[in-house]
């Protein structure tokens, strides 16, 4: 069964600084990987996804993530954050065999300070 580990529960960072949110996964089969963002009192929205192909994936709002199969990681990065990026970020995985469920990590709270 697949699982997702987000290594940091909270990441405080100053505005315009770079940020990396870490995610590791485990699965016995090929996987699809996702990052979702949750703003206060809202549902989750997709930031980006990796299905196949290039290991560097670009998403919305200037975020990107790199799939590293050997390290089973899918870390999320942004070179310069804004106050409006303050939110909860969830890494997620679904199995590439057509699994009908997406499993989410525990989330990382990104707090951008002025």
Binding site for other proteins (CB under 8 A): 32, 34, 36, 41-46, 49, 51, 90, 94, 96, 98-107
Shortest separation between residue 72's beta carbon and other proteins, angstroms: 19
At residue 102, φ and ψ (nearest 5 deg) are -110, 125
Kindly tell me which of 101 and 114 has the beta carbon lying closer to other proteins.
Answer: 101
DSSP code of residue 100: S
Q: Based on CB atoms, which residue is closest to other proteins, 14 or 39?
A: 39
Ramachandran angles phi, psi of 41, nearest 5°? 60, 25
Shortest distance, CB of residue 110 to other proteins, whole angstroms? Answer: 16
CB of 68 to other proteins, least distance (A): 20
CA 80 – CA 89 distance, rounded (Å): 16
d(CA 42, CA 54): 31
């Amino acid at each position: 069964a697949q699982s997702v580990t987000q290594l940091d529960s909270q990441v405080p960072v100053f505005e315009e600084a770079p940020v990396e949110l870490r995610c590791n996964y485990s699965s016995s089969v090929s996987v699809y990987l996702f990052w979702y963002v949750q703003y206060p009192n809202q549902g989750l929205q997709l930031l980006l996804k990796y299905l196949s192909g290039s290991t560097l994936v670009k998403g919305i709002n200037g975020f990107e993530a790199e799939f590293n199969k050997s390290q089973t990681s899918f870390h999320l990065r942004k070179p310069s954050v804004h106050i409006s990026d303050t939110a909860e970020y969830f890494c997620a995985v679904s199995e590439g065999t057509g699994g009908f469920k997406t499993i989410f990590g525990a989330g990382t709270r990104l707090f951008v300070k002025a």
